[in-house]
Amino acid sequence: MEVISNELDFFISLPKEMKNNLKNKSYCFFDIETTGFSRYKDRTILIGVLYPTNNGIKIIQLFANELKDEKELLTKFIGIISKFDILISFNGNVFDIPFLNKRFKYNNLKYSIDNKKNIDLLKVVKKYKNLLNLDNCKLKSIEKYLGIYRKDTISGKESINYYYNYVSTKDEQLKKIILNHNYDDIYYLPKILRIYDLIEEKSNINKTIYLKNHTMNLSLDIRNISFKNEKLILNGKTNILNINNQIHYNDNYTFKWTPSDGLFELSIIINTGKLSTGKSCLYLDQEMYDLPLNLQDTSNYNLPKKFILIKDNKKLINENIKLIFETFIEKILDNLNI
* pLDDT computed for residue 253 by the predictor: 95
Q: What is the pLDDT of residues 193-236, one digit of tens each?
A: 999 999 999 999 999 998 878 899 999 999 999 999 999 999 99
Q: How many domains does the chain have?
A: 2
Q: Are 98 and 215 contained in the same domain?
A: no
In a domain, 199, yes or no: no
User: Is 148 in the same domain as 232?
Assistant: no
CATH number at residue 93: 3.30.420.10
Q: Which domain holds residue 309?
A: 205-334
Residues 184, 109: Cα–Cα separation, whole Å: 29
Residue 197 placed within a domain = no
What is the reported pLDDT for 153?
A: 76
Condensed to tens digits (0 to 9), the pLDDT of residues 166-181 reads 999 999 999 999 999 9
Half-sphere exposure of 244 (CA within 13 A, CB side): 6
- Residue-wise pLDDT for 128-160, tens only, equals 998 898 889 998 889 999 999 887 778 888 899
From the list 48, 92, 45, 89, the residue with the least C-alpha distance to 71 is 45
Instruction: Give yes or no: residues 111 and 248 share one domain.
Output: no
pLDDT tens-digit map of 13-46: 999 889 888 889 999 999 999 999 999 999 999 9
| Same domain? 187 vs 50 | yes
Q: Which residues contact 269 (CB under 8 A, 6 or more apart)?
A: 230, 231, 251, 252, 253, 288
Q: Give pTM, 2 decimals.
A: 0.87
Is residue 261 assigned to a domain? yes
Q: Quick check: is 71 in a domain? A: yes
- DSSP code per residue over 30-90: EEEEESSS-TTT--EEEEEEEEEETTEEEEEEEE-SSGGGHHHHHHHHHHHHTT-SEEEES
Residue 172: per-residue pLDDT = 95
Percent of the chain surpassing pLDDT 70: 99
**Same domain for 187 and 329?**
no
